[in-house]
Chains A and B, each alone.
Chain A
Amino acid sequence: MRPALARATSALPKASRAGLAIDAWGIGTLAVAGLMAAPVLAVFTLAIAPSDDIWGHLARTVLPHYTRTTLALMLGVGVGVFAVGTGTAWLVTMCRFPGRAVFAWALLLPLAVPAYIIAYVYTDILEYAGPVQGALRGLFGWSSPKDYWFPEIRSLTGAIAMMTLVLYPYVYALARAAFLEQSVCVLEVSRLLGRGPWRSFASVALPLARPAIVIGVSLALMETLNDFGTVDYFAVYTFTAGIYDVWLNMNSTSGAAQLATVMLVLVLALIAAERWARRRLRFHHTTNRYRQLPTYRLDRVPAALAVTACATPIVLGFVVPSAVLIDYSIGASANTPVADFTVYALNSLTLSSMAALLATGIGLFMAYGVRLGRGRAVRAATRLASVGYAVPGAVLAIGVVIPLARLDNAVDAFMGDVFGVSTGLLLSGTLAAVTYGYLVRFLALSFGTVDASLAKVTPSMDGAARTLGSAPLGALRRVHLPLMRGSILAAAILVFVDSMKELPMTLILRPFNFETLATYVYQFASRELLEQCAPAALAIVAAGVLPVILLSMAITRSRPGQWEGRRAPA
């Protein structure tokens, strides 16, 4: 049932005899992808230098532990974000129960909370001296940790829980968009053939949404891999912890780059494996019959269960950390002048907007370039360009520093030789460098989202547009873009929200005397003084809330046929 309905009927119109315009797309895509991949390539280059038997040492000692922990963490977070993200997306899209309209957008809210903040907040609440255990001790008269068992928050399980809470919205956003975009025909056929709601979900909706869900899960997993703040705070030793150790304690940049390279190769292999497993299955929508989706009404017990399932991640991932931050803010010694604070906030907003705009544009450009079928080189280049997300931020920042400085120094030398003037560093240490860093880091978000959306547009549309005389650009503008509006906005907002939280690259790449909200918070949080900067931390969360609501509206509107005056399904 699945393949028959989901498979495409025609392949993309391949430009076998490439015209000029198409060549420009191909070359342009390669050039842009190359520009975005340069930092990752720089990390590979660093890895070529010898590293003083670091592998032998690691293999004999901690490498097995790092590997086990990393795999367990990824498995835990992968299963967690899949279950929470897909489950809630299905409930909110396909079922009717009290509060559904609120849940639809509120489920995205935890996206606005940085992982290191949620880790800090929950440790405060759940550790031995925290209010929860304190209350339990008061209640049962226990007096020491030996009297009872309580789960240790600073553990692998704790890290899995924290990351699942802040990362499931990626899966939720993409899965919900995919569920909304499905044609009602498919579901009707499924029901005609006697499948109930659950089996329709498992055998029709889920496979159709697979490309989107896979992208959501892989984004969450890449973010898990690059995380250092949470695992470091929880004393969970992953590959990333190993990379930083080799780099900073053993003073071996090449050893660290080698570890990072191995990690990246694994990520690329995982992505390739999933693509291979999907092989020739294509998931286009072949019909344009979109009516309001048939929803299942839930009452009493099922409704209560649905409400609980949707409310839990929101409360744990957003309400609790926000409440704690508000509580800290009230007690905070207000030592930051409002004027400074405004500047930090403006810096964050400007950088994040710029990154969102550019990342979406580049993501769209690359995804469309790939669709125009410029072959393996283009596809491989775009893969490499969007894998920066899996690299630990500080390592990727070094990858950005190196090619930029090399370019600057080359220009300076050239200008010196030819005109006798020194241009110094034109790009290094400027906001352009920071923006470039954000793009390299977050391109996976925009490219992935846009690519998934583009994949759902059946190639026969391209064919039709081209037959009717549209050039690729015209087809993109008049055919694809209108179909993809929601996903494009979603891509921009994902990049925006992540940029607001971005830390390691900002720290390393920024100009003199430049603070964002995140770097400002960090200088206190790194001394475990989060209370003192709680208002700024709260501002990061708050700045994410509005875009997140916009994102939800965009997703809701992304349902084709939505702008023909029908009422939104949610």
Chain B
Amino acid sequence: MNTLRPLMKVLAPNPRTAFGAVLLATVLGVPGSPVPASAQGEVNLYSYRQPFLIQPLLDAFTAKTGIAVNVVFAPKGVLERLKAEGANSPADAVLTVDIGRLHDMVEAGVLRPVESPTLRMNIPAQYRHPEGLWFGLTTRARVFYVSKDRVAPGTISSYEDLARPDLKGRVCIRSGKHDYNVSLIASVIADRGLDEARAWLTGVRANLARKPQGNDRAQAKAIYESLCDVAVANTYYMAAMVTNESEPEQKKWAAATRIVFPNSDGRGTHVNVSGAAVTKSAKNVDNAVRLIEFLSEDFAQELYAETNYEYPVKVGVALHPLVESWGTFKADSVNLTEVAKRRAAASRLVDVVGFDFGGGGS
């Protein structure tokens, strides 16, 4: 009985007032944002990016400028929260990992245009919004990991090749519904049109070695296990596996594969951006712009390259030696907004061809 007594004391005497008091304490006693603004002010971020990936950059920004950075990380729902909060939203800027989210925010009208000579100089036009609504900070290429043993150099060189009949039962990929694949398919639609893209995706489905599943690393692992010979994945996962000391097993997966940059002779390899934007509701506009500018400068761009193995958008910034060892590639020059506009169509195409049910799975 003794264990129950404290609880009963709260519950029994007068339930209504007790709950009222607790509720009141929740509302009044616990402030929402316990971070005191520093003398130089602050900037509030809503981020789609995992904090552990960006914290070193934000810390460096605070150290340099004295501006405190407050972050909420959420993998979904940021746009809806911004929309609902409206003009009173505390968010000054947004960080995303995919063009899709940036485009959705443009469409929803929650971003404000930024005019910054620094950003225009640092970021190639292809990787920023024409009116300054968003800015790409890094790019990641969607490439092939192919088996070193079972795929001769030069035999598979384009996304179109993935549908070739001789690859039957040899292709691995994560769910067609994943952001990265939806954007890739959207880029094929942008280049080839919907009908050709459908025929292509149907062909890729027919070649699947297994039902689409796992993440990008899992595809390298599948090649290592001889489950398939060709996989589609982002570049930086390869580097993450090669350098993985806490899971050295992954080094073997990486060692079994080699990177191929698709469509180097044609329109180029599909790239996506991680990016940033200033919100319409921003109260600390100057600080938000300063942060994005900081992220586009050499120091941050190098840090991105070094710690996350991504491609810096700023021309002339050194790549991570490992990333550099894969060689240079030609990036698809299509405007990313054109890709983003076709994401809904791409997602539907995945349903239409039953892509995620392919590969002999249920």
Could you tell me the distance in whole angstroms from the C-beta of A470 to the nearest C-beta in chain B? Answer: 14
> Given A357-B10, A432-B26, do A394 and B76 touch, yes or no (CB 8 Å)?
yes
Q: Can you name the residue of chain B whose Cβ is closest to the Cβ of A252?
A: B344
User: Which one of B212-220, B284-292, B310-318 is at the A interface?
Assistant: B212-220
Residues from 392 to 411 in A contacting B, C-beta threshold 8 Å: 394, 397-398, 401-402, 404-406, 408-409
Residues of B within 8 A of A554 (CB): 3-4
Q: Which A residues have a C-beta under 8 Å from some C-beta of B?
A: 28, 57-58, 60-62, 65, 128-129, 144-145, 154-156, 234-235, 237, 241, 244-245, 247-253, 331-333, 354, 357-358, 360-362, 364-365, 394, 397-398, 401-402, 404-406, 408-409, 412, 422, 424-425, 427-433, 435, 473, 476-477, 481, 485, 488-489, 492, 504, 507-508, 510-515, 519, 523-524, 526-528, 531-532, 550, 553-554, 557, 563
Residues of A within 8 A of B4 (CB): 485, 489, 554, 557
Q: Can you name the residue of chain B whose Cβ is closest to the Cβ of A61?
A: B351
Taking a contact as CB atoms under 8 Å apart, the answer to whether B213 and A154 are in contact is: yes
Q: Which B residues have a C-beta under 8 Å from some C-beta of A?
A: 1, 3-4, 7-8, 10-12, 14-16, 18-19, 22-23, 26-27, 30-35, 44, 50-52, 70-78, 80-81, 84-90, 100, 104, 107, 175, 177, 179, 182, 211-215, 217-218, 221, 224-227, 245-247, 249, 343-344, 346-348, 351-352, 354, 356-357, 361-362
Cα A406 to Cα B85 with chains together (Å): 8
Cα A244 to Cα B75 with chains together (Å): 12
Could you tell me the distance in whole angstroms from the C-beta of B215 to the nearest C-beta in chain A? Answer: 5
Taking a contact as CB atoms under 8 Å apart, the answer to whether A354 and B22 are in contact is: yes
Q: List 11 A-B contacts (CB under 8 A).
A: A128-B225, A234-B213, A237-B357, A361-B22, A408-B88, A409-B85, A409-B86, A511-B34, A512-B70, A512-B90, A554-B4
Taking a contact as CB atoms under 8 Å apart, the answer to whether B84 and A406 are in contact is: yes
Residues of B within 8 A of A512 (CB): 32-33, 35, 44, 70-72, 90
Cα A54 to Cα B33 with chains together (Å): 39
Residues of B within 8 A of A511 (CB): 32-34, 72
Pick the contact of A251 from B10, B343, B361 — CB < 8 Å?
Answer: B343
> Given A235-B356, A409-B88, A528-B215, do A510 and B72 touch, yes or no (CB 8 Å)?
yes
Q: Can you name the residue of chain B whose Cβ is closest to the Cβ of A53?
A: B348
> Given A129-B225, A408-B88, A550-B3, do A507 and B11 touch, yes or no (CB 8 Å)?
no
9 residue pairs, one from A and one from B, having the closest CB atoms:
A430-B32, A512-B70, A249-B347, A405-B84, A61-B351, A235-B213, A508-B77, A523-B50, A361-B19
Residues of B within 8 A of A252 (CB): 344
Residues of B within 8 A of A62 (CB): 351, 354
Residues of B within 8 A of A563 (CB): 1
Cα A422 to Cα B1 with chains together (Å): 50
Cα A361 to Cα B8 with chains together (Å): 11
Residues of B within 8 A of A251 (CB): 100, 104, 107, 343-344
Interface centre among A249, A428, A504 (most CB of B within 10 A): A249
Taking a contact as CB atoms under 8 Å apart, the answer to whether B76 and A358 are in contact is: no
Taking a contact as CB atoms under 8 Å apart, the answer to whether B11 and A488 are in contact is: yes
Residues of A within 8 A of B362 (CB): 155-156
Taking a contact as CB atoms under 8 Å apart, the answer to whether B30 and A432 are in contact is: yes
Taking a contact as CB atoms under 8 Å apart, the answer to whether A362 and B227 are in contact is: no
Could you tell me the distance in whole angstroms from the C-beta of B87 to the nearest C-beta in chain A? Answer: 8
Taking a contact as CB atoms under 8 Å apart, the answer to whether A361 and B76 are in contact is: no
Residues of B within 8 A of A128 (CB): 225, 227
Taking a contact as CB atoms under 8 Å apart, the answer to whether B7 and A362 are in contact is: no
Could you tell me the distance in whole angstroms from the C-beta of B150 to the nearest C-beta in chain A? Answer: 12
Cα A361 to Cα B22 with chains together (Å): 11
Taking a contact as CB atoms under 8 Å apart, the answer to whether A364 and B246 are in contact is: no
Cα A412 to Cα B50 with chains together (Å): 32
Cα A169 to Cα B226 with chains together (Å): 40
Could you tell me the distance in whole angstroms from the C-beta of A57 to the nearest C-beta in chain B? Answer: 6
